[in-house]
Amino acid sequence: MTPPPGRWSDLDRPPLNARALRTALVRPGSLWTGLTVVESTGSTNADLAAAAASGDAAPGTVRVAEEQVRGRGRLDRQWSAPARSGLFCSVLLAPGPEVPAERWGWLPLLAGVAAVTALTPVTEVATALKWPNDLLVPVDGEERKLGGILAERVTLADGTPAVVLGMGINVSLRAEELPVPTAGSLLLAGAATTDRDPLLRAVLRSLAEWYGRWTVAGGDASAGGLLPAYAACCATLGRNVRALLPGGAEVRGEAVAVDGTGRLVIADAEGVQRPVDAADIVHLR
């Protein structure tokens, strides 16, 4: 009888070292107050949202899964990946009254900047963003989706408003494991490393740094340097795009800017500029 697969059944995908991650990240003065790694779960976002509502998770809590079987992306799209093939994590953040609620929409974009600025130097892969927060990498000369980010507002047990910020990044997915042909992974992009421990440490440290800048600036993306950093990371700007809007309408034109609220500004053929705040973006050749 064949035994069930264990934690070390795939030597190319060793388990995360939860103790070492906590030692490196959960320190006095750090944004991160706790970190757990679970073998498998439906959704780290759903888990952390429930823990926040029940009082079992404080701001700064990080929840990581080796396997996520009911992961969710933007527009409630479902996805999953093989165990230990990626980084599947969620964090609980409570910006507080110093950041107006109308500026919280920058959080998923901030997480995108944090991921790009962390992964690019560590992996030596030119990671970029497709507006608003899809991560892209080049694979065989094509843009492929590396991962995505989902922010959900929640309420803590004491009534404090907060956000659960989830991130899924494909690390070691092989070509035959890709969920769709447009997906990619760090492995397929030729990354210098696919060791998830240093990758997760780099991403969480970068997220803490950018979050700190943003909160000190009262959520002002320009004053905190977030807006120019986002523009530098964004592969959508300067491209001809098709924006598929809720309800089925679409806008075509050149993506010319990201405004102060995080909306993508598209200029049509007549030069008329239109900001969009919710859309599926297609990069046109």
Is the model more confident about 166 or about 72? 166
Same domain, 156 and 259: no
Cα–Cα dist 131/113, whole Å: 11
> What CATH number has the domain bearing residue 143?
3.30.930.10
* Cβ–Cβ under 8 Å, residues 131 and 148: no
What is the pLDDT confidence band of residue 4, given thresholds at 50, 70 and 90? very low
Shared domain check, 122 and 142: yes
Region of poorest pLDDT, from 78-92, 140-154, 229-243:
78-92
Mean pLDDT (whole number) for 218-224: 95
Residue 259: which CATH number? 2.30.30.100
2, 133, 173 from 139: Cα distances, Å = 36, 19, 12
Three-state DSSP state, 251: strand
Q: Is residue 226 part of a domain?
A: yes
* Residue 4 located in a structural domain: no
**Does 136 fall in a domain?**
yes
How many of the other CB atoms lie within 10 Å of CB of 217? 17
DSSP secondary structure string, 177-193? G-SSTTB--TTTTT-S-
Average pLDDT over residues 33-57: 97
Q: Tens digit of pLDDT for each residue in 46-69?
A: 999 999 999 999 999 999 999 998
Mean pLDDT of 179-198: 97
> Domain count of the chain?
2
Q: Is the four-CA dihedral 168, 172, 176, 181 of positive or negative sign?
A: positive
Instruction: Kindly state whether residues 225 and 248 are assigned to the same domain.
Output: no
pTM greater than 0.85 (yes/no): yes
The residue type found at 57 is A
Percent of the chain scoring above 70 in pLDDT? 93
Could you tell me the residue range of the domain that residue 264 belongs to? Answer: 240-283
Residue 6 counted as domain residue:
no
Q: Say whether both 250 and 121 belong to one domain.
A: no
Residue 206, phi-psi category: left (phi > 0), alpha (psi -120 to 50), beta (remainder):
alpha
